Amino acid sequence: MLYTHIDSPVGPLLLASDNDGLRLIEFHTPRYAMRRDADWREGDDATLRMTRAQLDEYFAGKRRDFDLPLAPRGTEFQRSVWQTLATIPYGETISYAQLATRVGKPTAMRAVGAANGRNPLPIVLPCHRVIGADGSLTGFGGGLPTKEFLLNLEGALPAANADLFTS
């Protein structure tokens, strides 16, 4: 597993990949840090370079979709939730209930929310686009200010939260 650190408008990000593709985008203070083992080494490869370039374009407002080889590890259920996240269009938000319905588990909102919270590829698999049914910003692995920043960047911040973190 190769990893590198990059700077971003939401703080430092750790990127990790292996032969299968991009495995991880981790915020500076992750809620669920991926365990590192002896196979991890700092380095660079084509996937990490493409990820860095596409994230730079996204933060500059020049990219709306990512085209990267993704290889997140998780249960079959988690992967189905993460694949569904990829279908939420740039600039739009959905509720956890809507996400559960799209996954085909309309009564499993808590399980869907838990899988959403374990997303190893935030931003690229846009878990920040999932909000409370009332339009509230709810938990996010990068913190609510980061979620607010990403939704503002995309023009998708619900009006009720437009000044959530300003004085």
CA atoms within 13 A on the CB side of 117: 14
Residues 112, 99 contacting (CB under 8 angstroms): yes
* Cβ neighbours for 81, distance < 8 A, ≥ 6 positions apart: 99, 103, 112, 115, 116, 119
Residue of 81, 124, 127, 150 marked active site = 127
* Token representation of residue 94: 């959905």
Query: Do 154 and 128 form a contact (C-beta atoms < 8 A)?
Result: no
What's the token pair of residue 3?
Answer: 């990893």
CA 4/CA 12 separation, integer angstroms: 10
Q: Is 85 a catalytic residue?
A: no
Please list the active-site residues: 127
